């Protein structure tokens, strides 16, 4: 049902009305279109965000994999060094033990007390040196085991990462294809709506959207849902009437109301549903 208010011309508040001399712009239709445009834009932004973040996420995973491979290479190189050192120390101790054995055998045949004491001291010293080498060997064995464990863990992590990235890549590609299709579809819908909206209003919409994220804000219980400020009473009444193009004095968002949020006594048939 069309009432006389449907024929109210668009009145401009808060910004210059010049250039807009199109005849008979119906505010309800315009606001509905803008709300629809905003809903489409929210969806486009949502998909776009995913489209932008997915390659970054995959890149980060790929970087982590490269980093892990380097860590494994470094650990393997270190393991080779430790194993080499271990081998050399094992040879050292064998030599040292052989020397001790020889000296101990010689000791049995020495009668001279002075010589006996000297050789005994040599054996004692040799055992001390062997003991130190043994300690070093034990330390190297410990390091060797730790390194092997750490390499195993890194290799199993790497395997998991490599499997995950393949899965993620597949999923991301599927999602990206879907998102691209959705965005294409949304842009087509947007083009249709935009073609019906006045250029100056669109510019205004884009400016507020750029600054605030959303260009339109619903008024609920007398508050702007964009910035949560209470809309001044006079403005509140005008917003409820939906006969003017009005913006929130605090955040500049274009204010609109939904049918269910209009108090009974303010209801007319030309409001947004
Ligand atoms: Zn506001």
Per-residue pLDDT tens over the stretch 134-150 = 999 999 999 999 999 99
- Per the DSSP assignment, residues forming a β-bridge with 255 are 217
Q: Are strands 254-256 and 216-220 parallel, antiparallel or unpaired?
A: parallel
Cβ-contact 38, 215 below 8 angstroms: yes
Residue 13 pLDDT greater than 60, yes or no: no
Q: Which long-range contacts (CB under 8 A, 24 or more apart) does 182-189 make?
A: 182/43, 182/47, 183/44, 183/47, 183/48, 183/51, 186/40, 186/43, 186/44, 186/47, 187/44, 189/40
How far away, in angstroms, is 26 Cα from ligand 1 center?
23
Over residues 93-119, mean pLDDT: 93
Residue 209 pLDDT greater than 80, yes or no: yes
How far away, in angstroms, is 51 Cα from ligand 1 center?
30
The predicted pLDDT at position 260 comes to 82
b/e sequence 149-187, b meaning 16+ C-beta within 10 Å: eebeebeeebeebeeebeebeeebeeeeeebeebbeebe
- Cβ–Cβ contacts within 10 Å for residue 121, how many? 10
How far away, in angstroms, is 268 Cα from ligand 1 center?
24
Least confident of 33-42, 200-209, 239-248: 239-248
How far away, in angstroms, is 216 Cα from ligand 1 center?
9
List, in order of start, the domains of the chain with CATH numbers. 4-25+198-266 (1.10.287.1490), 50-184 (1.10.287.1490)
Q: What is the mean pLDDT of the chain?
A: 86
How far away, in angstroms, is 30 Cα from ligand 1 center?
19
How far away, in angstroms, is 260 Cα from ligand 1 center?
20
Put simply, whether the predicted model's pTM sits higher than 0.75 gets the answer no
How far away, in angstroms, is 232 Cα from ligand 1 center?
11
The predicted pLDDT at position 16 comes to 40
The predicted pLDDT at position 14 comes to 42
Distance CA 224, CA 208 (A): 15
Residue 5 pLDDT greater than 70, yes or no: no
The predicted pLDDT at position 4 comes to 34
How far away, in angstroms, is 219 Cα from ligand 1 center?
9
The predicted pLDDT at position 176 comes to 87
Residue 18 pLDDT greater than 50, yes or no: no
Q: Give every CB contact of residue 86 below 8 A, 6+ residues apart in sequence.
A: 137, 140, 141, 144
The predicted pLDDT at position 242 comes to 81
The predicted pLDDT at position 267 comes to 55
How far away, in angstroms, is 272 Cα from ligand 1 center?
19
Least confident of 86-90, 161-165, 171-175: 171-175
How far away, in angstroms, is 223 Cα from ligand 1 center?
8
How far away, in angstroms, is 213 Cα from ligand 1 center?
12
How far away, in angstroms, is 62 Cα from ligand 1 center?
43
Over residues 29-38, mean pLDDT: 90
How far away, in angstroms, is 226 Cα from ligand 1 center?
5
Residue 271 pLDDT greater than 70, yes or no: no
User: Which of 91, 76, 79 is closest to 137 using CA atoms?
Assistant: 91
Kindly list the distances between the CA atom of residue 271 and the CA atoms of 24, 29, 239, 261, in Å, as whole numbers in the listed order.
Answer: 17, 9, 10, 10
DSSP readout, 153-202? HHHHHHHHHHHHHHHHHHHHHHHHHHHHHHHHHHHHHHHHHHTTS-HHHH
b/e sequence 201-224, b meaning 16+ C-beta within 10 Å: beebbeebbeebebbbbbbeebbb
Helix or strand or coil: residue 248? Answer: coil
């Amino acid at each position: 049902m069309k009432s006389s208010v449907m024929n109210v011309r668009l009145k401009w508040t808060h910004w210059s009305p010049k250039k807009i001399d199109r005849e008979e712009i119906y505010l309800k239709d315009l606001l509905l279109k803008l709300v629809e445009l905003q809903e489409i834009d929210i969806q486009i932004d949502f998909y776009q965000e995913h489209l932008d973040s997915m390659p970054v996420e995959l890149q980060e995973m790929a970087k982590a994999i490269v980093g892990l491979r380097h860590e494994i290479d470094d650990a393997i190189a270190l393991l080779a060094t430790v194993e080499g050192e271990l081998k050399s120390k094992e040879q050292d101790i064998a030599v040292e033990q052989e020397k001790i054995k020889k000296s101990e055998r010689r000791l049995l045949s020495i009668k001279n007390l002075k010589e006996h004491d000297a050789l005994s001291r040599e054996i004692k010293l040799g055992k001390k040196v062997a003991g130190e080498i043994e300690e070093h060997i034990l330390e190297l064995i410990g390091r060797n085991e730790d390194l092997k464990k750490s390499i195993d863990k890194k290799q199993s992590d790497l395997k998991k990462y490599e499997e995950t990235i393949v899965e993620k890549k597949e999923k991301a590609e599927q999602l990206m294809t879907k998102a691209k299709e959705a965005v294409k579809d949304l842009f087509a819908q947007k083009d249709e709506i935009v073609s019906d909206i006045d250029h100056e209003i669109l510019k205004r919409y884009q400016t507020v959207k750029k600054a605030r994220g959303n260009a339109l804000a619903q008024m609920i219980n007398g508050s702007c849902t964009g910035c949560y400020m209470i809309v001044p009473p006079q403005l509140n009444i005008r917003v409820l009437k939906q006969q003017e193009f009005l913006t929130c004095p605090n955040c500049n968002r274009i204010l609109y109301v939904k049918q269910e949020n209009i108090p009974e006594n303010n209801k007319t048939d030309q409001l947004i549903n």
